[in-house]
Amino acid sequence: MIRFNSFKNTFLFLFLTCIACGNTTTQKSGANSDSRNEGETSVTESTVVDPIVTGAERIAAYLPLLKDKKVGVIANPTSIIQGSKETDPPTHLVDSLLASGIDIVRVFSPEHGFRGNVDAGEEISDGSDSKTGLPIISLYGKNKKPLPDQLKGLDILVFDIQDVGVRFYTYISTLHYVMEACAEEGKKLIVLDRPNPNCSYIDGPVLEKKHSSFLGMHEVPLVYGMTIGEYAQMINGEKWLKNGVHCDLEVITLKNYNREMSYSLPIRPSPNLPNDQSIALYPGLGLFEGTTINAGRGTSYQFQRYGAPELDPEVFEFSYVPEPNFGSKSPKHQGEKCYGEDLSSITPPQKVNLGWIMKAYNHSNDKEKFFLTASFTKHAGTESLQEQIVSGVSETAIRLTWKPAIDNFKKIRAAYLLYP
């Protein structure tokens, strides 16, 4: 597990910025407060930034709902509660609930497993947690949706998983199936909300329903700009669950959060997203998963570089060799020299960048094998993106084709937003 940038550094940066820019407003304590005294200027005031409080950390808001209940928890390594002091070690939600006397009957784990040590796409078996002894039900592989027998004896379920706001990141698909199972079996679901690090923009092709899969179940853009709690409300409200069933849902909201705030994750959300840079570049570089190009798997710079042996070395001077490592037992082009680009130090674009995949395609020495068509279509959510790239359509022109569907999605999305 890797510690990301601390709140302490963020506070110092904002404090110094406020002094340099002459910003004299003060944000009051409280959820999502934005109190401004127009016309007042005082060099003695400074902006006070309240720390973001995740849904999981708002223990008093949900603990009473779990008392004397048989509880199921959908969780992974990101399901943590930060201590009251920065020096305090984080506590896993499951450990916190057990310490509070909550009767957890079983745990459900999504892709990558409960402890986060499983490769992307690798089937996960049921088992038990070595630390707590709790039975663990896998929700990845053949059984993506909790079965009636697996919900039997439970009164309520708690969902607490960190999302990154990209449609083909499978945790929102797990959320869909959990909500559907709860609705069908009459179980209440509590979603503990967490910030979305890619929440400040909406971009990418909107999924076409005929291309629905576990890599994208809903007609949303590739980057949808919602927290997982907001997304859960949209699943319910738009009747996306099978047969239009409605989940008894309660979202424990964030405090002191707005979608323009940057958020540095305290723990990597999955093995191949090791830091803020990889998460920010994931929307664009994740499209390489549907091609023969390696997107940094098998290196320490997952989703911060791309390359392949067939890319023109006269165009791509940067090179690397993927080898098996944590999160990637068999990376693409293992042991081969890959030519490509290092993006680990660039300023991430606030959009789905198509420039990288278009450049790679245009300078590939094996264009016929570049796209893994079925996989790429699932990642893109449409057949047209591959067709546009192959036909030489400009990025600007491609982006214009996304606009009508994105505008329509924004209207739908607006009804479910919880934060300014």
- Sheet strands (E) in 76-149: 80-81, 91-92, 103-109, 127-128, 135-138
Q: In what order do the strands lie in the sheet with 188-192?
A: 127-128, 135-138, 103-109, 70-75, 156-160, 188-192, 248-252
Contact 236, 32 (CB under 8 A): no
- Identify the pLDDT of residue 10: 42
Residues 318 and 327: their CA atoms lie apart, in Å, by: 23
Contact 220, 167 (CB under 8 A): yes
- Identify the pLDDT of residue 360: 98
Coil, helix or strand at residue 385: helix
- Sheet strands (E) in 290-337: 305-308, 318-320
103-109 vs 70-75, strand pairing mode: parallel
- Identify the pLDDT of residue 132: 86
Residues 270 and 76: their CA atoms lie apart, in Å, by: 9
pTM surpassing 0.95? no
For the chain, domains (ranges, CATH) are 7-50 (no CATH), 59-264 (3.40.50.12170), 276-370 (no CATH)
188-192 vs 248-252, strand pairing mode: parallel
For each of the chain's 420 residues, which pLDDT tens digit applies?
444 444 444 443 333 343 334 333 333 333 343 333 333 333 444 566 799 999 999 999 999 999 999 999 999 999 999 877 777 889 999 999 999 999 999 999 987 667 655 555 455 566 788 788 999 999 988 889 999 999 999 999 999 999 999 999 999 999 999 999 999 999 999 999 999 999 999 999 999 999 999 999 999 999 999 999 999 999 999 999 999 999 999 999 999 999 989 899 999 999 999 999 999 999 999 999 999 999 999 999 999 999 999 999 999 999 999 999 988 999 999 999 999 999 999 999 999 999 999 999 999 999 999 999 999 999 999 999 999 999 999 999 999 999 999 999 999 999 999 999
Residues 350 and 259: their CA atoms lie apart, in Å, by: 13
Residues 51 and 284: their CA atoms lie apart, in Å, by: 30
Residues 210 and 318: their CA atoms lie apart, in Å, by: 39
Cα–Cα nearest to 109, from 77, 147, 80, 152 = 77
